[in-house]
């Protein structure tokens, strides 16, 4: 395994880029720690594939360097980077059996037969394909073939990194959860450095130790799932992650209070802003309804199983709140309050920490 360093990396597909908009990838410095599982998450067109292709060697960046354990590999072809890749669609040898497919990368490296057998058996178990090891790949479903691709990606333990590019796209929805869990287990067992590209927040948050969130060609936050939930560094992270995403309110901030829709709200801490456009971000999990606060009207209640999503109109702004299954919901006028620990302040879309620093992180499960 290797630590992967991106050193002042940027990429433009244009020959003579002039402005930031000409870059598919804005300048980025980042270390992918050895043995850690990362998800690279963002909407279509934000630059995920560009970044992954630079790491894998399919694309040479127009600016900056890529280092594997300190060694500059920026101009090394993919074949010389010692990485395993799993793509959106299965890449298997149809004429070979499942066993031969899984063993292929090990045979290429001339490992002893007994070790090949051991490793193939272990991976086959984790992808639940022990029963079909001697079947030819040709007759298998797309799901099964993609499981072989995943297994083949993980069969070697000497790769610098494992790169996954939306690997569960062709997998049946009920299998996705199972495969994600298996991938996590494989990471636990083998300790590969993994980078998993996806636009699906559930995939990213359940798979990764750390999620790298991209937006419009830049990395806007690298954090644990709890950090992304509790302290989104950018308003984009707030509304992209979460279901529904974070509520954002234009607010005028003065000392420890904010004025939102004509009502003063106590923020519980001071925030030093510099005159930019300020907003308050509060996740639906931290919105409480009661007799005091900002006047609002319930417009719809959606029952989504374990909880209810309450849609409100607050002075023309749409607000979402989450209530427990058994909780009663006012059916007309109410007031919106914010749980203090769920308040984030933004200036020009970037988070401003409270004066005196952030307290300990809570988790979503502890939400009010």
**Which residues contact ligand ATP (rule: CB under 6 A)?**
13, 24, 42, 44-50, 199
Nearer to ligand ATP, 49 or 257 (CB): 49
Number of residues written out for the chain = 368
CA atoms in the 13 A half-sphere facing the CB of 112: 3
Nearer to ligand ATP, 48 or 192 (CB): 48
Residue whose C-alpha is closest to residue 42's, from 164, 199, 194: 199
Nearer to ligand ATP, 165 or 285 (CB): 165
State the Cα–Cα distance between residues 301 and 320, nearest whole angstrom: 10
Q: How far is the CB of 165 from ligand ATP (least distance, A)?
A: 8
**CA distance from start to end of the chain:** 41
Q: How far is the CB of 170 from ligand ATP (least distance, A)?
A: 15
Q: How far is the CB of 113 from ligand ATP (least distance, A)?
A: 40
Residue whose C-alpha is closest to residue 243's, from 298, 185, 306, 182: 306
Q: How far is the CB of 25 from ligand ATP (least distance, A)?
A: 7
Residue whose C-alpha is closest to residue 317's, from 251, 263, 235, 248: 248
Residues 6+ apart with CB under 8 A from 65: 5, 6, 7, 8, 9, 72, 74
Q: How far is the CB of 45 from ligand ATP (least distance, A)?
A: 4
Nearer to ligand ATP, 63 or 199 (CB): 199
Q: How far is the CB of 84 from ligand ATP (least distance, A)?
A: 20
Task: Find tokens 């319930």 and name the residue.
Answer: 298
Nearer to ligand ATP, 52 or 186 (CB): 52
Q: How far is the CB of 23 from ligand ATP (least distance, A)?
A: 9
Nearer to ligand ATP, 52 or 320 (CB): 52
CA distances from 32 to 76, 112, 194 (A): 19, 32, 9
Cis peptide before 269 (omega within 30 of 0): no
Nearer to ligand ATP, 93 or 239 (CB): 239
Residue 295, φ and ψ in degrees, nearest 5: -60, 140
CA distances from 9 to 75, 218, 264, 314 (A): 13, 11, 44, 43
């Amino acid at each position: 395994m290797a630590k992967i360093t991106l050193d002042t990396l940027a990429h433009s597909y244009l020959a003579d880029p002039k402005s930031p908009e000409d870059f598919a990838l804005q300048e980025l410095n980042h270390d992918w720690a050895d043995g850690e599982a990362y998800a690279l998450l963002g909407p279509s067109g934000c630059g995920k594939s560009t970044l992954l292709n630079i790491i894998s060697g399919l694309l040479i960046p127009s600016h900056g360097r890529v280092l594997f354990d300190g060694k500059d590999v920026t101009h090394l072809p993919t074949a010389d980077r010692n990485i395993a890749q799993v793509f959106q669609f299965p890449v298997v040898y149809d004429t070979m059996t499942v066993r031969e497919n899984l063993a292929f990368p090990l045979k290429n490296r001339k490992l002893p037969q007994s070790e090949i057998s051991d490793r193939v058996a272990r991976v086959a178990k984790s992808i639940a394909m022990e029963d079909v090891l001697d079947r030819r790949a040709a007759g298998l479903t797309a799901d099964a073939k993609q499981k072989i691709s995943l297994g083949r990606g993980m069969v070697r333990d000497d790769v610098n990194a494992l790169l996954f590019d939306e690997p569960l796209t062709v997998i049946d929805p009920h299998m996705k959860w199972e495969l994600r869990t298996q991938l996590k287990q494989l990471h636990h067992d083998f300790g590969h450095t993994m980078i998993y590209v996806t636009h699906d927040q559930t995939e990213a948050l359940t798979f990764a130790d750390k999620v790298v969130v991209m937006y419009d060609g830049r990395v806007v936050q690298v954090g644990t799932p709890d950090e992304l939930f509790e302290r989104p560094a950018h308003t984009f992270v707030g509304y992209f992650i979460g279901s529904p995403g974070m509520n954002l309110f234009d607010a005028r901030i003065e000392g420890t209070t904010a004025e939102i829709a004509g009502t003063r709200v106590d923020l519980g801490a001071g925030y030093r802003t510099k005159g930019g456009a300020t907003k308050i971000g509060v996740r639906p999990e931290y919105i409480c309804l009661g007799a005091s606060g900002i006047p609002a009207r319930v417009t719809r209640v959606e029952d989504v199983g374990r909880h209810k999503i309450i849609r409100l109109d607050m002075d023309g702004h749409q607000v979402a709140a989450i209530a427990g299954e058994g909780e009663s919901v006012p059916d007309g006028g109410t007031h919106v309050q914010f749980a203090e620990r769920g308040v984030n302040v933004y200036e020009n879309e970037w988070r401003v920490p409270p004066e005196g620093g952030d307290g300990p992180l809570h988790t979503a499960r502890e939400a009010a």
